[in-house]
């Protein structure tokens, strides 16, 4: 599993009165993403349309605009994924999810009860859960490392958990893009300027590093029911070569497991 974390209270300097400007900036930056990132575009390749089953917890639904919140986050991801990879997400349905136990324990894993929401998940469907903390975690905020996202790498399962404190809209949107990239096999990198850096800051990132961009392009047509088993030998070879040869990846447990799984499939 892969996770996205936030350290401390990043919302302290960005209160709700600035939400309008946060949304405007998010749209503007995402529209410019393909031009700024200097990556190979999707070209004339047919757009792959992926459906999302958006499951919201009772805590997330306390926000009267919860459906709109989900819609806007997916729309932001589209501004990044479509021009760069020819991938477009749309919400198929909104579902109810009542989490059991503590989220992301142990080690950032996607909860099993959430996986059970979509036993008949289709090849082109991703199941995405949205939850929110309703109280602080009970330790000094300066020391808190909140896991705000988790994804099953190369499987169509993602969970987002909003922190208790106010979070700038740009951060919430960026988290969704980060976790969706894990679904296509992207890994964490040490480059703080890219989407796959594993810690959140106020700086919004709209670009992928070249190594992860190559992985996403190779895996863009993956069947989410079968995962990497559905990819061609050429695609698996491309992903394996990138994982072996690119120096920018963070050698965390997620990366090591991902590489081992791909190697076992190729054998």
Structure confidence at residue 105 (pLDDT): 45
**Per-residue tokens: 126:** 């991703």
Structure confidence at residue 38 (pLDDT): 54
Supply angle C-alpha 95, 106, 262, rounded to 5. 85
From first to last of its 267 residues, the chain has per-residue pLDDT tens of 555 555 443 333 334 444 545 555 555 555 555 556 655 555 557 899 999 999 999 999 999 999 999 999 999 999 999 999 999 999 999 988 887 755 544 444 555 666 666 666 789 999 999 998 887 765 544 334 567 888 888 888 898 988 887 778 888 899 999 999 999 999 999 998 899 998 877 667 788 999 999 999 999 999 998 889 999 999 999 999 999 999 999 988 778 877 887 877 766
Q: Measure the CA–CA gap between 173 and 112, rounded to whole angstroms.
A: 25
Q: What are phi and psi of 46, to 5 degrees?
A: -60, 140
From residue 209, alpha-carbon distances to 62, 108, 152, 249 in Å are 36, 23, 20, 10
DSSP string, 109-176: PPPHHHHTT-TT--TTEEEEEEEE-SS--SS-GGG-EEEEEEEETTTTEEEEEE-SS---HHHHHHHH
Q: Quick check: 195 and 80 in contact, CB under 8 A? A: yes
Give Cβ neighbours of residue 30 (< 8 Å, ≥ 6 apart): 76, 79, 80, 173, 206
DSSP string, 60-115: GGGSTTHHHHHHHHHHHHHHHHHHHHSEEEEEEEEEE----SSTTTTTTPPPHHHH
Structure confidence at residue 143 (pLDDT): 35
Q: Is the pTM of the predicted complex or chain greater than 0.95?
A: no
Q: Measure the CA–CA gap between 145 and 4, rounded to whole angstroms.
A: 10
Structure confidence at residue 110 (pLDDT): 56
Q: Measure the CA–CA gap between 232 and 211, rounded to whole angstroms.
A: 19
Structure confidence at residue 253 (pLDDT): 77
């Amino acid at each position: 599993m892969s996770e996205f974390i936030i350290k401390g209270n990043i919302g302290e300097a960005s209160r709700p009165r600035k939400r309008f400007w946060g949304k405007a900036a998010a749209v503007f930056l995402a529209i410019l993403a393909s031009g700024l990132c200097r990556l190979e575009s999707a070209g004339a390749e047919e757009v792959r349309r992926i459906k999302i089953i958006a499951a919201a917890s009772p805590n997330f639904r306390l926000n009267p605009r919860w459906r709109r919140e989900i819609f806007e986050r997916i729309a932001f991801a589209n501004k990044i994924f479509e021009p760069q990879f020819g991938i477009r997400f749309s919400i198929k349905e909104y579902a109810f999810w009542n989490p059991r136990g503590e989220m992301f324990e142990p080690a950032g894993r996607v909860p099993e009860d959430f996986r059970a929401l979509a036993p008949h998940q289709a090849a082109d469907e991703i199941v995405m859960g949205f939850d929110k903390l309703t109280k602080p975690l009970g330790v000094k905020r300066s020391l808190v490392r909140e896991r705000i996202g988790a994804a099953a790498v190369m499987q169509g399962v993602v969970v987002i958990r909003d922190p208790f404190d106010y979070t700038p809209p740009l951060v919430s949107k960026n988290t969704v893009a980060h976790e969706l990239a894990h679904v296509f096999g992207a890994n964490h990198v040490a480059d703080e300027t890219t989407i796959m850096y594993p810690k959140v800051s106020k700086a919004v990132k709209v670009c992928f590093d070249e190594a992860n961009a190559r992985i996403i392009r190779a895996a863009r047509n993956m069947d989410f029911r079968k995962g990497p088993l559905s990819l061609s030998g050429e695609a698996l070879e491309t992903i394996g070569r990138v994982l072996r040869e690119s120096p920018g990846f963070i050698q965390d447990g997620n990366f090591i497991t991902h590489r081992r799984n791909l190697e076992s499939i190729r054998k």
